[in-house]
Amino acid sequence: NKEEEDYLRFQHAGLSEADLEEEEQERLEAELEAITHSEEIKSGLFSATSLLSGDDSNVESLLRSVLESLRSVERVFPDAAALAGRVESAYIDLKDVRAEAEGLFEAVDFDPERQQVVEDRLSLIYDLEKKHSLATVGELIELRENIRRKLENIDSLDEQITALENDVAAARHTMLDTAAALSK
């Protein structure tokens, strides 16, 4: 009936307008978590980079010293070469970790405007999930697609009814013309 169709169109419009994406909720929740804990994250990253390369007793310089010690005995104790290779590999990995941590430190920032955008978007998602008694964005997308298919079927039926009504009208017109011709 028309009321059901109108309700389906209303639901579909609300879900389509939200323009939901798979896994969007999880991504936004993680982003909000990072934004709200940005100072804590920056502090941890700063501490890590300082320990890796900060003052004289940092991990990188200690590993460099270990490497130099092993390299100094390689000539008289060849087994030290394998250890030196492993320490050198660890040293290179730690330099990469430090560089990546420094990059993350620079990238992490508290942005109140972005936080508001993320909170508003999550609020919309939570409201839609509650309204439709669903638990995930994926389920909301599935509902939207199911409603879209129902509306396509309704539109298709309306077109079929119109075509049949036109056929009936044409047949009636032909019948009346034929009846008029026969009655003469």
pLDDT confidence of residue 17: 96
Q: Flag whether pLDDT at 1 surpasses 90.
A: no
Separation between Cα atoms, residue 113 and residue 159, nearest integer Å: 48
* Residue 60, both tokens: 């990188």
Global pTM reads 0.67
| End-to-end Cα separation, the chain, in angstroms | 46
DSSP string, 57-88: T-HHHHHHHHHHHHHHHHTT-THHHHHHHHHH
pLDDT confidence of residue 2: 87
Confidence of residue 153 (pLDDT cuts 50, 70, 90): confident
Q: Flag whether pLDDT at 179 surpasses 80.
A: yes
Span 146-160, average pLDDT = 88
Q: How do residues 83-136 score in pLDDT, each as one tens digit?
A: 999 999 999 999 999 999 999 999 998 999 999 999 999 999 999 999 999 999
Q: How do residues 25-75 score in pLDDT, each as one tens digit?
A: 999 999 999 999 999 999 999 999 999 998 778 999 999 999 999 999 999
pLDDT confidence of residue 184: 81
